[in-house]
C-alpha cells in the first residue's frame, strides 16, 4: 500500500499476530492496488460499461466508498484515478520521479461516481465510461480496522496497528491508562492520549512532486479535479474506526480550515487542523489535555 505497516502486540503472541496482519494487508493490496495490473481493482477498471462480478472484499470497500462519497456530498470521491494519472501520479510514489515532464492538462471535476451501478445480490459492479476507481486512504483505513478485528477474534490484544500514521488500537497497553500517540504539526508536535478508536492524518508533508514548474500533491479536490488549494498543512482526526477517520481528515483538508472545522463539528468528530502558516486549532471533542512536546 505504499507505506510501512507497524504493530504493537503482546510479546508472547507477536509472531502469530504479525503473520495475521501481514497476510491481511497482502490480500488487500493484491485485490485493491491500482498499481498492480493483475489486481481485481485494475481488472474492473479495464471493463467500463460491463457488469463485472467482484469479490466480497472489493464489493465491501466500494460500497463503503460510495456511502462516504454520498455522505460528504462528493468531497470524498473514489473515482479520480484518471485525474491523478493526468497529474503525473501514474506509478507508485517510490517510483515517481521528483520532476514529471508530462504536459499539464486542465483538471476535470469528479462526481461520476454517482453513475456506478452495484448489484448487492449478485455482487456485480458496472462502471460508467471514462472513470476509474482509486480508493486511496479509505482502503488503508478499512484494512487497519479489519486487522484489529482479526486480532480480536484470535484473542491477541492489547494491540495497535499503524499504517503510515493511520492507526487504531484495541484495549490499553499494560500498566497504562492510554496510548501516547505522536501527532506531528508544521512547527511542533504533540502527544495525544488515545483511549480507544482510531487516528488518521491527511496532509501535504509527503507525496508531493513537480509537474514541470508546478508543485503537485495527491489530495485532489473533486470540484476541480486538481490538487486541493487548501490553507491547511494537515488534518488529524480521531474517530471510532480508522475508515471514518481517514475520510473525515481528507474531507476537512480539502474544504480548508474554516469549512473543514465546520464539517467536523457538524458530524461531532474530533480534529486538529494545522495551517500552512503553522497556526492550528482543535475541534471538540478533541482532548483538552493533549500536550505540546516541542519543535520539529
Distances (CA, A) of 269 to 33, 109, 231, 249, 262: 29, 27, 20, 10, 10
> Strand locations in the chain, DSSP E?
5-8, 52-53, 99-100, 117-119, 124-126, 159-163, 166-170, 179-184, 188-194, 197-203, 208-211, 214-217, 220-221, 226-227, 232-239, 270-275, 280-283, 291-295
Instruction: Please give the backbone phi and psi of residue 152, each rounded to the nearest 5 degrees, phi first.
Output: -65, -40
pLDDT value for 210: 64
With contact defined as beta carbons under 8 Å apart, do 80 and 222 qualify? yes
CA 33-37-43 angle, to 5 degrees, is: 85
Task: Kindly write down the DSSP assignment for every residue of 101-140, as one continuous string.
Answer: -PPP-------GGGG-EEETTTTEEEPPTT-----THHHH
Q: From CA 138, how far away is CA 37, in angstroms rounded?
A: 20
Q: From CA 124, how far away is CA 54, in angstroms rounded?
A: 6
The domain locations on the chain are 5-291
pLDDT value for 136: 83
Q: Cα 164 from chain centroid?
A: 10
pLDDT value for 23: 97
**What are the residues facing 217 on neighbouring strands?**
208
Mind listing the pLDDT tens digit for each residue in 172-225?
998 899 999 999 888 788 899 999 999 999 998 776 656 666 666 678 999 999
pLDDT value for 276: 92
pLDDT value for 296: 41
- Per the structure block, which three cell numbers stand in for 51? 457488469
- Per the structure block, which three cell numbers stand in for 283? 475541534
With contact defined as beta carbons under 8 Å apart, do 96 and 89 qualify? yes
3-state secondary structure of 11: helix
Fold of 5-291: T-fold (3.10.520)
pLDDT value for 288: 72
- Average pLDDT by consecutive 10-residue portion of the chain (296 residues)? 90 97 97 95 96 98 97 96 79 61 70 96 94 93 98 98 95 93 85 94 76 71 92 96 97 97 96 94 83 54
- Per the structure block, which three cell numbers stand in for 149? 478485528
Amino acid at each position: 500500500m505504499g507505506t510501512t505497516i507497524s504493530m504493537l502486540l503482546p510479546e508472547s503472541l507477536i509472531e502469530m499476530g504479525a503473520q495475521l496482519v501481514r497476510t491481511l494487508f497482502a490480500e488487500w493490496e493484491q485485490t485493491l492496488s491500482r498499481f498492480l495490473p493483475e489486481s481485481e481493482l485494475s481488472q474492473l477498471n479495464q471493463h467500463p460499461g460491463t457488469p463485472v462480478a467482484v469479490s466480497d472484499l472489493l464489493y465491501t470497500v466500494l460500497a463503503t466508498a460510495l456511502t462516504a462519497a454520498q455522505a460528504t456530498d462528493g468531497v470524498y470521491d473514489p473515482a479520480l484515478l484518471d485525474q491523478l494519472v493526468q497529474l503525473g501520479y501514474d506509478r507508485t510514489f517510490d517510483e515517481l520521479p521528483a520532476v514529471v515532464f508530462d504536459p499539464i492538462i486542465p483538471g476535470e471535476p469528479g462526481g461520476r461516481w454517482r453513475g456506478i451501478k452495484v448489484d448487492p445480490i449478485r455482487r456485480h459492479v458496472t462502471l460508467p465510461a471514462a472513470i476509474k476507481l482509486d480508493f486511496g486512504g479509505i482502503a488503508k483505513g478499512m484494512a487497519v480496522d479489519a486487522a484489529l478485528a482479526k486480532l480480536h477474534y484470535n484473542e491477541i490484544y492489547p494491540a495497535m496497528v499503524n499504517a503510515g500514521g493511520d492507526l487504531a488500537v484495541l484495549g490499553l497497553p499494560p500498566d497504562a491508562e492510554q496510548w501516547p500517540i505522536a501527532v506531528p504539526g508544521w512547527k511542533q508536535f504533540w502527544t495525544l492520549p488515545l483511549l480507544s478508536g482510531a487516528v488518521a492524518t491527511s496532509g501535504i508533508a509527503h507525496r508531493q512532486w513537480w509537474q514541470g514548474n508546478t508543485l503537485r500533491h495527491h489530495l485532489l479536490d473533486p470540484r476541480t479535479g486538481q490538487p486541493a488549494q487548501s490553507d491547511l498543512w494537515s488534518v488529524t482526526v480521531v474517530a471510532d474506526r480508522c475508515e471514518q477517520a481517514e475520510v473525515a481528515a481528507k474531507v476537512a483538508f480539502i474544504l480548508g480550515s474554516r469549512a473543514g472545522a465546520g464539517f467536523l463539528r457538524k458530524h461531532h468528530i474530533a480534529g486538529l487542523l494545522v495551517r500552512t502558516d503553522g497556526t492550528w486549532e482543535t475541534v471538540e471533542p478533541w482532548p483538552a489535555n493533549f500536550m505540546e512536546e516541542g519543535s520539529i
